[in-house]
Amino acid sequence: MTQGARPPREERDTIDLQDFLKLRGMVETGGEAKFRVQGGEVRVNGEIETRRRKKLRRGDVVEYAGERVRVDW
């Protein structure tokens, strides 16, 4: 990609699950996010998700440790 070029729309409209967990303060570190996701402690749209690089999109619902958060930006 050249300098100043925008990433493809799909990349701008998604966020990795592990990054979302950190951004929302649901975990403190990337290592903790990895451990929690791969341990089956996180749900996305009601389903257990073990892929920490799972791409989240607007409207997805993430559940972890009793907290439920809708992806919206």
pLDDT, tens digit, for every residue of 12-30?
Answer: 799 999 999 999 999 999 9
Picking from 7, 12, 53, the residue whose alpha carbon sits closest to that of residue 44 is 53
Ranges of each domain in the chain: 9-68
pLDDT of residue 73: 72
Antiparallel, parallel or unpaired: β 14-16 and 55-57:
antiparallel
pTM here is 0.82
Identity of residue 47: E
Residue 72 has pLDDT above 70, yes or no: yes
CATH code for residues 9-68: 3.10.290.10
